[in-house]
Structure 1
Amino acid sequence: MPASQSPRLTEKQRAVLERLDRRVPIKVIAAELGVSESRVNQHIRALKDIYAVESLGELVERARSTGAQPSRKPAYRNSHLPEPADLPQPEDRVAPGEFVLADVAPLAIEAPWSVQHEPRVVPGVLNGENAVLFRLAVITGLTVGIVAVVLLVMTAALTVSEALAGTEVVVPEAP
């Protein structure tokens, strides 16, 4: 296709091409156009075939050179800040440089560092109405378990030491 000739594109292809020119991710393009990601990929493949290119960069450059898309600044140079003329100019402001509580309050409320996110150390069952009883039961259970393990280890150690020493304790039978 000659560089001066502009190809005929569908509205969806134009929309996909315009978003590719702005370096919008495919997932976002699909969400904005209300189609699936695979459908966006089909449009991209069709556009690559129309422009006879292999990469997205070549596709965008070829589309710009043929005039299918209006030429604009590259996406990395587009400012997301409003132009000074676009900013609202309220009439009833205080003198420049003065702080107004209304200006600062949203920052204090929405500041992510001011929200306390403590790790959850205690399981939910140990927190609430019967928290003291549950905790007491857990502590008692752990204590009894530890004492039982100590007694079993001591009994096993005595039995093994007696067996190795060759002594036998005979318990008389009841008559």
Structure 2
Amino acid sequence: MRTFLDALYRLSGAFAALCLIAICTIVLLQVGANLIDAVAAAVTGTAIGLVIPSYAEFAGFFLAAASFFALAYTLRTGGHIRVTLFIQKMTGLPRRIVEIWCTGTGAAMAGYLAYYLVLLVVESWEYNDLSTGMVAIPIWIPQLPMALGVIVLTISLTDEFLRVLRGLPPSYEGLESGEG
């Protein structure tokens, strides 16, 4: 099970990276189109009018997908910013209780969010909601990666919660201090 979960978190992080690459590609293509237009306008006096339709909207969709897909991977690797001022001096049972409370509350909140994001995706699909850009995209398509990312985050937080319940340190703790 551990191998499957670690692979799931890495896959989620890989999807986030692919979304960032897609953003870079879209923006570079639009910049290239703008440069070709500028050269055409300078040479002929008339711009060609090259444009990638809804490129800003697509970049926004990929940014949302990257942000949500990265959540679980970032948690697992200790990359989330945690305020440890309160618990950094704690040891033993008090620290374990706080970690149990934090991971349990986080898992519950992420699960709540995941539930309602799935409902939002289903509702958008049922009503055939479309984006408002030049290219009308069914809005459930960019909403789906958000829901999937939060589902994987919920799994990750539940994994951490169960880990701490068993008396093990959270996986992100050793990574923050430069271990493992």
TM-score (norm 2): 0.21
More helix, by proportion: 2
